[in-house]
Amino acid sequence: MAKLPRPQAPAIFRGMFSDLADWLESPWTGPPPFIAAQTFRVEEMARDNRYVIRAELPGLDPERDIEVTVEGRTLTIHAERRQEDNAPYRSEFRYGSLTRLFRLPAKVDANDVTARYEKGVLEVSVPVREVMPEGTRIAIEKAD
């Protein structure tokens, strides 16, 4: 079957919305940049009785741009990429806030959680404790 050529946007449309026209005429590779969900890629694994999350966050300052918090069974990684130059130019870099939430295997003490940033990868490690159910004997009343 012959492949039909993609239609070209009218010149007036292209003049007003050149980025959108370029996207519409390009082969499909995903959502357009103006609606793309901003997120970051992660790996989750168990290692040495620990739950480990590795997040790809290149080019960020861990002291200024990344925050890791634990509340109950929820671990949150929040990162913010700031635009440093406001000069008018074309940029495909993404700026803004990025947040991912992770459900932890059990409630953890935030003091036991460690985080390390190296070569653009944030590694958060949470100890996995064996939860032993507490057994309680329930008294049974005898009905008369």
Residue 30 placed within a domain: no
pLDDT at 90 over 50: yes
Torsion 128-132-103-45 (CA) sign: positive
The per-residue pLDDT for 128 is 83
**What is the H or E stretch that residue 67 is in?**
strand 66-71
Question: Residue type at 55?
Answer: A
What is the number of domains present in the chain? 1
Q: Compute the distance between CA of residue 132 and CA of residue 110 in angstroms, rounded to an integer.
A: 20
Residue 31 placed within a domain: no
State whether residue 121 is helix, strand or coil: strand
Residue 70 placed within a domain: yes
In CATH, what number is assigned to the domain containing residue 118?
2.60.40.790
Residue 49 placed within a domain: yes
Q: CB atoms < 10 A from the CB of 95, how many? A: 11
The per-residue pLDDT for 55 is 95
Residue 135 placed within a domain: no
Q: Compute the distance between CA of residue 141 and CA of residue 144 in angstroms, rounded to an integer.
A: 9
* Cα distances (angstroms) measured from residue 108 to each of 13, 90, 124, 134: 55, 45, 13, 17
pLDDT at 57 over 60: yes
**What is the H or E stretch that residue 69 is in?**
strand 66-71
Question: Residue type at 87?
Answer: A
Residue 79 placed within a domain: yes
Give the range of the structural domain holding residue 97, as residue numbers without chain letter. 36-83+93-130
pLDDT at 35 over 50: no
Q: Give me the chain's average pLDDT, please.
A: 76
Residue 25 placed within a domain: no
Task: Give the pLDDT mean for 121-125.
Answer: 95
Contact 83, 95 (CB under 8 A): yes
Residue 22 placed within a domain: no
The per-residue pLDDT for 52 is 94
